[in-house]
Amino acid sequence: MSASLATQLVNLFASLLLLIAFAMLAQRRVLSLIHLFAWQGAVLALNTALVAFVTHQHHLYYSALLTLILKVILLPWILHRLIDKLNVRWDVETLVNIPTTMLIGVGLVIIGFNVAMPISHLSETVTRGTLGIALASVLLSFMMLITRRKAVPQVIGFLAMENGLFFAATSATYGMPLVVELGVALDVLVGTFIFGIFTFHLREAFDSLDIEHIEKLKER
Amino acid sequence: MALEGSQLAIALVLVGGLHWFAVGMAGLAVPQSLFWIARILFPLGALGGLAVAAGGVVALPQEPAAAILPLGLPDLPFHVRVDALSAFFLVLLGIAAVGVSIFSAGYFRAGQGTAPGLLCVQYHVFLASMALVLVADDAYLFMVAWETMALSSYFLVTSNHRMPEIRRAGFIYLLIAHVGAVAILLSYGVLQAGQGDYVFSSMRAHAPQGAWASTAFVLALFGFGAKAGLLPLHVWLPEAHPAAPSPVSALMSGVMLKTAIYGLLRVTFDLLGAPQWWWGVLILVLGLLTAVFGAMFAAVQTDMKRLLAYSSIENIGVVLIAIGLATTFRAYSMPLLAALALTAALYHCINHALFKSLLFLATGSVLHSTKERNLGKLGGLVHSMPSVAFFALIGALAIAGVPPLNGFVSEWLLLQAFLATPSLPNSYLNMLIPLGAAALTLSAGLAGYVMVKFYGVIFLGQPREPALAHAHDAGWLERLGMAWLVAGCVALGLLPLKIVAILDPVNSLLLAQTLSETAGRSGWLFITVLAPERASYSPLIVFCGMLSVVAATFLAVRFRYGGRVRRSDPWDCGHPGLTPRMQDTAEGFGQPIKQIFEPMFRIERQLPTPFDERPVYRATADDHFWYWAYLPVARLTERVSRWIGVLQHGRISLYLLYSLATLVVLLLVVS
């Protein structure tokens, strides 16, 4: 495979990732959100495998496999179970002012690209052009975390942010050392479990998954 | 396997430390069995103390020896090193630990706060961490051991954690310990001088100069002063010592405060190069204030352990005075006088380790037998607890500086060092520092006053409460532990020349000067300061003189009134119905001090009116520093937190927005 084709494919995947990030920002339904998350993981795994193939970085194959298992199969499955148990499969969240959110998101993408520009110039990787996208998707997921009111979408926002970070690592330096990646994967898994337990307790205590109820817990 | 002397020392110390650690962990095996913990593990712990002390004795005359432990983080191993300075403090730790551990074997009872197994772990980890502090040769191991020491002693202090005032005392202790630890950490940060190497040998080779050296010194003085109880940072001592079980108070006061002295000596005399003259003056002035303050407050206390805690503050002040003098002399290149002052400091350290541990142990026995800490409810215990009374008497005489016991020797050496200050080349200093001798004498006199009060109110007179009639003497293990410390007090008092010779390697290490030669100029019987015509002291002659006077009086009385003993009530001035409540009380005894030094205390009195049905008199003498230094800081902290609290709304999305905004702003700044 020629280098230019590889670069184009990597760019394609990157733009898909950004598109999915925007879609998640605007998606109201919990179920679709999980699907989008799974798709994002799939794109990420494909992209990692592609980079591994082009650059002969063998440890990236493991990363890709790990991503596939964890983010495409295991985590979506856990999330599906979670929304089944909580009986929120068909929930629709009322989002305030999607156009404004999208506009702010566009602003964040611009910031991401601006910040990534000097780093991309320093980098020698085939993926250097996509660092801006990676940063932008991190910021977009963060944005999603802020705008969501319910517990499960917040969990998904957190996981999506981790996806963005992973993508940033791949595009800037061909991934983190495998030890670090394994550690992060474990963290994400454990984090999801904790969030799951937390949401159950939230519901038990307040009979709702609305994060607003936690505001009562503040000091004073 | 034949080990060189210095390697043998390191091995002994490490074995002792590991032994302590293992003994502590063995306590977890059967955490509820008092027999296993008290009768087996604590005496085993005393063996560890012997090993550590032996290691110190072996290492004292040797060249420094270093080793690298295969522990710590990858690429960052622990360095250990035993030189004369750490060897001396190891001896101190080991000897005190033996006595306290034997005592503890008989002391700890069931059903008091923490389970005995946990107590055993905390106690032995505390001992092991102190040994590690003394042998650490890099800032990393030093801080790890230092913090372990602070934490384990915190848990020991709060072993009766169900009482709120004990939790409060523990919190104050932990707070000040951590503020101090931060200062020490910063001091090491300055000392490594940009080398990025925290091994002490590298710090020694690249000692900072000028203002940086002073910064490192002031930070170290602050940090170690917080642990030692230097004046504005002393407030934790009178809270933590009464809260802790007595053997723990004994170790904290007797040994842990000395680790702070060790750290200060290590930084000031070893790691930093040549001192500046004002360092010594700063230590000296703070030490004088601390000594006088501690003695004055000890005189007005009514809780026996608080009294001893303030007395510890006073003694630390005395040690710091000696260190201040030594630093000043060293700054003016007068090594012989510096060696004299440093010897006084070290001598007083080990003295204090012995007699203060002894007195705290004695209070422990009294506390167990009477359940009472308040001096106003004790009295007359010399009849029911004769052996404890005897041991406490020796300790009280020693701490009051009465010859021929050990307290006299170190205070005498220190005063001699003071008398040499007029030879300082700086005209202001050689006029002003001798005035400090007056303050030192004042504090020594007050210390004597305090001990008369301590001993007299607890052991002499009539029992103030009927319950005291059932007081019983301490068990044999407790007595053995106290006897060990008493033997140390007597030996240190009678053999000063020998002790000075043992201490001399520390002088030659830190000052390249020995003292034992000049000290022995008048023969083996006397200890001589600088020159025979100047001052000499022979404890043996004093002791024999005392013995002969006592024996002569005894024989004379015996001869004159032999066999004609008549017992009768003492004359009661014709007053019918004397009660024990008519004796002089602790408050009454401290009253003159309270009157004379009234501005030094924050006194609140509650006086009864003539018409009160039930007249109540209450007077408290508080510490000004609470109101001058600590409460303003606490109020400021509260106000600042209230401002910051404005940011806190309890909405997760808002918090996340803060994070996002911070992230974006930082990204924009770097790009």
- Residues 75-134 in A contacting B (C-alpha not used; CB under 8 Å): 108, 111, 114-115, 117-118
**Strand B618-623 relative to strand B527-529, pairing:** unpaired
Residue of A146, A149, A195, A202 to mutate when probing chain B, most B C-beta within 10 A: A146
Q: What does the pLDDT read at residue B449?
A: 94
Q: What does the pLDDT read at residue B137?
A: 92
Closest CA to B343 of B364, B355, B360, B329: B329
Nearest CA distance, B671 vs chain A (angstrom): 5
Chain B residues closer than 8 Å to A111 by CB: 664, 667-668
- Please check the confidence at residue B663 and state whether its pLDDT lies above 80: yes
Q: Cβ A139–B650 below 8 Å, yes or no? A: no
Chain A residues closer than 8 Å to B653 by CB: 145-149, 211
- Cβ-based burial of A181 (10 A; exposed 0-12, middle 13-18, buried ≥19): buried
- Which has more pLDDT, B38 or B53? B53
Give me B8's structure tokens.
């043998």
Residues belonging to chain B = 671
8 A C-beta contact, residue B391 and residue B489? no
Give me B436's structure tokens.
């400090």
Q: Cβ A142–B653 below 8 Å, yes or no? A: no
- Which has more pLDDT, A95 or B439? B439
- Please check the confidence at residue A30 and state whether its pLDDT lies above 50: yes
User: In this predicted structure, which of A63-72, B213-222, B385-394, B523-532 has the lowest mean pLDDT?
Assistant: B523-532
- Please check the confidence at residue B577 and state whether its pLDDT lies above 80: no
Please state the rounded mean pLDDT for residues A7-30: 88
CB pairs under 8 A between A and B: 47
Phi/psi class of residue A101: alpha, beta or left (left: φ > 0; alpha: ψ in -120 to 50)?
alpha
Question: Which residue(s) pair with B537 in the sheet?
Answer: B527
Q: Cβ B650–A217 below 8 Å, yes or no? A: yes
Residue of A121, A179, A215, A220 to mutate when probing chain B, most B C-beta within 10 A: A215
8 A C-beta contact, residue B436 and residue B284? yes
- Please check the confidence at residue B1 and state whether its pLDDT lies above 60: no
Q: What does the pLDDT read at residue B148?
A: 95
Out of B653, B656, B667, closest to residue A111 by CB: B667
> Touching check for B661 and chain A: CB below 8 Å?
no
Q: What does the pLDDT read at residue A96?
A: 67
What digits encode the pLDDT tens for the residues A145-196? 888 877 788 888 888 988 888 888 887 777 777 777 777 777 888 888 787 7
- In this structure, is residue B560 part of a structural domain? no
- Cβ-based burial of A57 (10 A; exposed 0-12, middle 13-18, buried ≥19): middle
Out of B650, B653, B671, closest to residue A115 by CB: B671
Q: What does the pLDDT read at residue A214?
A: 66
Nearest CA distance, B68 vs chain A (angstrom): 29
Whole-angstrom CA distances from B99 to B265, B307, B522 are 26, 22, 34
Q: What's the mean pLDDT when you consider all of chain B?
A: 89
Chain A residues closer than 8 Å to B646 by CB: none
Question: Which residue(s) pair with B68 in the sheet?
Answer: B79
Cα(first)–Cα(last) distance of chain B, in Å? 64
Which of B252-280 are b and which e, b meaning 16 or more Cβ less than 10 Å from the residue's Cβ? Answer: bbbbbbbbbbbbbbbbbbbbbeebbbebb
Question: Which residue(s) pair with B73 in the sheet?
Answer: B76
- In this structure, is residue B7 part of a structural domain? no
Q: How many domains does chain B have?
A: 1
Q: Residue B116 is which amino acid?
A: P
Question: Which residue(s) pair with B529 in the sheet?
Answer: B535
- Number of Cβ within 10 Å of residue B542's Cβ equals 16
Give the SS3 label for residue B634.
helix
- Please check the confidence at residue B61 and state whether its pLDDT lies above 80: yes
- Number of Cβ within 10 Å of residue B77's Cβ equals 16
Please state the rounded mean pLDDT for residues B85-89: 94
8 A C-beta contact, residue B351 and residue B428? no
Chain A residues closer than 8 Å to B662 by CB: none
Q: Cβ B653–A114 below 8 Å, yes or no? A: no
Q: Cβ A146–B660 below 8 Å, yes or no? A: yes
> Touching check for B656 and chain A: CB below 8 Å?
yes
What digits encode the pLDDT tens for the residues B127-145? 999 999 999 999 999 999 9
Kindly report the pTM of this predicted structure.
0.81
Task: Look up residue A210 and give its DSSP letter.
Answer: B
- Cβ-based burial of B44 (10 A; exposed 0-12, middle 13-18, buried ≥19): middle
Out of B649, B657, B667, closest to residue A146 by CB: B657
Locate the domains of chain A by residue range. 3-217
- Please check the confidence at residue B619 and state whether its pLDDT lies above 60: yes
Percent above pLDDT 70 for chain B:
99
What digits encode the pLDDT tens for the residues B362-414? 999 998 888 888 888 888 888 889 999 999 999 999 999 988 899 999 999 99
Chain A residues closer than 8 Å to B657 by CB: 146
Q: Cβ A216–B650 below 8 Å, yes or no? A: yes
Task: Look up residue B374 and give its DSSP letter.
Answer: B
Closest CA to B228 of B193, B195, B265: B265
Chain A residues closer than 8 Å to B647 by CB: none
- Please check the confidence at residue A24 and state whether its pLDDT lies above 60: yes
> Touching check for A146 and chain B: CB below 8 Å?
yes
Out of B648, B660, B671, closest to residue A143 by CB: B660
- Cβ-based burial of A99 (10 A; exposed 0-12, middle 13-18, buried ≥19): exposed
Max Cα distance, chain B (Å)? 103
The torsion angles phi and psi of B67, rounded to 5 degrees, stand at -150, 160
Nearest CA distance, A218 vs chain B (angstrom): 5
Q: Please tell me the distance from the alpha carbon of residue B8 to that of residue B58, in angstroms, as a whole number.
A: 8
- Please check the confidence at residue A124 and state whether its pLDDT lies above 80: no
Q: What does the pLDDT read at residue A193?
A: 79
- Residue B404 preceded by cis peptide, ω within 30: yes
- In this structure, is residue B544 part of a structural domain? no
- Please check the confidence at residue B306 and state whether its pLDDT lies above 90: yes
Q: Cβ A142–B649 below 8 Å, yes or no? A: no
Q: Residue A115 is which amino acid?
A: V
8 A C-beta contact, residue A203 and residue A46? no
- In this structure, is residue B547 part of a structural domain? no
Side-chain-side CA neighbours of residue B320 (13 Å): 34
Q: What does the pLDDT read at residue A126?
A: 66
Domain ranges, residue B626 = 597-606+616-648
Nearest CA distance, A142 vs chain B (angstrom): 7
Q: What does the pLDDT read at residue A131?
A: 84
Residues 6+ apart with CB under 8 A from B245: B107, B108, B112, B119, B156, B159, B160, B364
Residues 6+ apart with CB under 8 A from B551: none
Q: What does the pLDDT read at residue A199?
A: 78
* ipTM for the whole complex: 0.81
Q: What does the pLDDT read at residue B475?
A: 86
> Touching check for A216 and chain B: CB below 8 Å?
yes
8 A C-beta contact, residue B262 and residue B414? no
> Touching check for B667 and chain A: CB below 8 Å?
yes
Q: What does the pLDDT read at residue A219?
A: 55
Residues 6+ apart with CB under 8 A from B322: B287, B341, B342, B344, B345, B348, B410, B414, B417
Nearest CA distance, A1 vs chain B (angstrom): 35
Q: Please tell me the distance from the alpha carbon of residue B225 to that of residue B240, in angstroms, as a whole number.
A: 16
User: Quick one: how far is CA B557 from the chain centroid?
Assistant: 43
Chain B residues closer than 8 Å to A215 by CB: 649-651
Out of B652, B660, B671, closest to residue A114 by CB: B671
Chain B residues closer than 8 Å to A139 by CB: 660, 663-664
